[in-house]
Structure 1
Amino acid sequence: MNNYIYSICQLFLITLTLTANAQKMHTTKWESGQLDRRTKVGVWEYYGYTASKEQVVVQRYDHSTKELLYFRPNGEFIYNIEMKPGQWTRHAVDRPPLFIGGDPALATYTTQLQYPPQAQERNIQGQVTVSFAVDTLGRASGHRVLRSIGGGCDQEALRVARTIPDEWIPAKLGSHAVAVEYELTLTFRLAQP
């Protein structure tokens, strides 16, 4: 009987050790939380920095329940929202659409711009604004260029915007999720010699 209890205890300790090893804390300048085999689990905090370089929590998101627990408000949120199917109007929302992980996570995609050779040859620089709808399930669609600079930059901005995964938290008006039109500005600037 003692050998049986001893074997059960050993098995429990091995299981506990494997579980502890499978989950580990991951902390960077921009985020902090638990990883389980490279997958985010549990509550994660995402950070931003104030003008005085103070680190602040901008989002707290539970990856296990897929629920936003906190976001740091930053001004008034006015968007084109879909009040009825196909009927859009400019309106303030109580919570903007949020990319999970905040601006640093979004920058992972937006910094992958490839400067079009045609724009380089013609010395085209500036900002392209891409618009897309973020629906009530956090999916993006209907990508289009609002502000154009040409030279292939518009197409590149659209390409990059379409690579952003559907990891959006929908906007809210009151307690209801609403579809909104989100605007993303991408900057094309040539390196100075």
Structure 2
Amino acid sequence: MRTTKWESGMLDKRTKVGVWEYYGITASKEMVVVQRYDHTAKQLVFYRPSGDLTFNTELAPGQWKRRMVDRPPLFIGGDAALATYTTQLQYPQQAQDRNVQGQVTIGFSVDTEGKATNHRVLRGIGAGCDQEALRVVKTIPDQWVPAQVGGQDIVAEYELTLTFRLAQQ
């Protein structure tokens, strides 16, 4: 059994097996279960909805429409697991020299098999930050649960915003 602040479940030779619980913190600072994922069956058992469930979805190849989904694309392990990757930003020297700060939003598609493709900068700030954000998001493993509408897995766009902030001196 392995238990950390953000997850709990069984390991077999360092591999997650069975149902794992993943935790998050609500706006009221309460620790709650945000996901239960069965790593043996490779199936989402439970997720706690949060926020807007409107996403860009692919109706047919190249044909996209913004609509409500029953389940959004989810990273296995929730935001805490995703932060393992997104916190690995390296502040570009050019941005530091020019005092560039702000947020970069990267968009990508999560297909019906849980793979991320078509990574692109949706909103950038320049000075090397856009490329760094894109590099970091592309390192996130294909451990996604696809969005669903009417019980069917669908292709949906996911947006991830990364913040570049210089340390105060």
Pick the TM interval, shorter chain: over 0.9
Give me the TM-score of the superposition, normalised by structure 1: 0.86
2:116 pairs with one of 140, 153, 156: 140
Q: Higher helix share goes to which structure?
A: 1
Alignment of 1:127-166 (within 5 A): 127-166=103-142
Aligned partners of 1:90, 1:176: CA distance in 2, in Å?
17
Map Cα deviations across residues 65-89 of structure 1 (whole Å, 9 max, x no partner).
0010000011331111000111001
Give the match for residue 119 of structure 1: 95
2:59 pairs with one of 77, 83, 100: 83
Aligned partners of 2:8, 2:126: CA distance in 1, in Å?
40
Identity value in percent: 72
Structure 1 unaligned blocks of 5 or more: 1-24
Aligned partners of 1:159, 1:175: CA distance in 2, in Å?
33
| SS of match in other structure, 1:109 | helix
Give the match for residue 13 of structure 1: none
Give the match for residue 72 of structure 1: 48
Aligned partners of 1:35, 1:161: CA distance in 2, in Å?
27
Give me the TM-score of the superposition, normalised by structure 2: 0.98
Q: Higher strand share goes to which structure?
A: 2
Aligned partners of 2:164, 2:71: CA distance in 1, in Å?
30
Structure 2 unaligned blocks of 5 or more: none
Kindly name which structure, 1 or 2, has the bigger radius of gyration based on alpha carbons. Answer: 1
Count of residues in Structure 1 that have an aligned counterpart in Structure 2: 169
Map Cα deviations across residues 9-31 of structure 1 (whole Å, 9 max, x no partner).
xxxxxxxxxxxxxxxx0001100
Amino acid aligned to 2:35: Q
Runs of 4+ in 1 over 2 A off after TM superposition: none
1:180 pairs with one of 143, 156, 159: 156
* CA-atom RMSD in angstroms: 0.7
Give the match for residue 94 of structure 1: 70
Aligned partners of 2:166, 2:138: CA distance in 1, in Å?
23
Give the match for residue 11 of structure 1: none
